[in-house]
Amino acid sequence: MFEQEINNFIKLWLGIILSLCYCYFIGKTKMIPVGTARLLCFLPVICLFLFVPLNLSTLHLGGTTAFFIAWLANFKLLLFAFGKGPLSPPSLPLPRFLAIACLPIKIQQNQTLNEQNGHQTITNNAVKVLLFVLLLRIYDYSDRIHPTMMLVLYSFHVYVVLEMVLALVASMARALLGLDLEKQFDEPYLSTSLQDFWGRRWNIMVTKILRPTMYEPVRDTAACFIGRRWAPIPAVFGTFVVSGVMHELIFYYLGRVWPTWEIMRFFLLHGACLTAEIAVKKATDGMKWRFPRAVSTPLTVGFILFTGFWLFFPPLLRCRADERSLEEYAALGAFVKKITALTFSGFPIQGS
């Protein structure tokens, strides 16, 4: 079962790469102008990318493909169709185009800074791996842990797994193409407000993709009616609507059950609260008074966890995401042992 999933994964990604090669050469063709004509050429690929995750059944391979391809790659192609976004530089070579399209990465801008931070990054990743292993051991005693505490552990699990997956992608991109992963998280547990959490600390790559595809067009349109000062309010809320729709889609890929729209309500609630926060700051000229960090951080993180326990995690648990993830780790371990045994069985043993 797991071996078949890996075979499907490899075949699907070969198809993804070929599809992106087609988009690359369409973009290089001067006969097809930027705009609607190029978008029409990209539509078959965009539709294919929406279908691809349905061919994978595991949480980790299917969820990663859904996030990277059905969401990020499609949004990058939409921007590319209109001559915008990270795929648009005319001098971008094909290998880098493919890497940037498939993965949440960016071209290294400051090699010296990367070298200075390299040791710290390795240390942080090692700590996260150790914490993840400890978390898996804690799950063995889940029947003795309070359900609320288990939800806290699941929240930590989601954060650590995302960090580990993206760190692995970063290492591969850096080794093969000299590219560096777009920073995804910046200690979100230290957020002092919803604006700080969603805009600066959590899933930063998604924020940067949603800004040109949703936030800026809505802001510019709204500015014609309510002025530049208040135009960010509907733009922020509209961005959360789109984010909610995309999360519902990814949860459908994971569980293959019709959405109950709890995820959508989670993002609508946070969008409404964030727009209220921005409106208050604008009305008070940036809120020159602020709560101390010792107060604002627990309030912010507490609100995010509470709303997550209420609306975000129930759909995830209904599709047995907790049980399936542990089953996939066990299957991966068995697969690695099998491959290792087959590899070393070809070497003669001394004394035999």
**What six digits make up the tokens of 169?**
């992608």
Give 178-215 pLDDT, tens digit per residue.
766 666 788 888 999 999 999 988 888 888 899 999 99
The amino acid at residue 302 is G
Place of tokens 């965009």: 46
CB 38 within 8 A of CB 32: yes
Q: Are 106 and 180 in contact (CB under 8 A)?
A: yes
- Residue 285's pLDDT is what? 73
Cα distance between residue 231 and residue 235, in whole Å = 7
**Cβ proximity of 209 and 136 under 8 Å:** no
User: How far apart, in Å, are the Cα atoms of 303 and each of 13, 194, 238, 281?
Assistant: 38, 9, 21, 19
Coil, strand, or helix at residue 33? coil
User: Residue 146, class by beta-carbon neighbours within 10 Å (0-12 exposed, 13-18 middle, 19+ buried)?
Assistant: exposed
pLDDT digits (tens, 9 = 90+) for 59-106: 889 999 999 999 999 999 999 999 998 999 888 899 889 989 988 876
Residue, of 65 and 109, whose pLDDT is higher: 65
**What pTM was estimated for this model as a whole?**
0.86
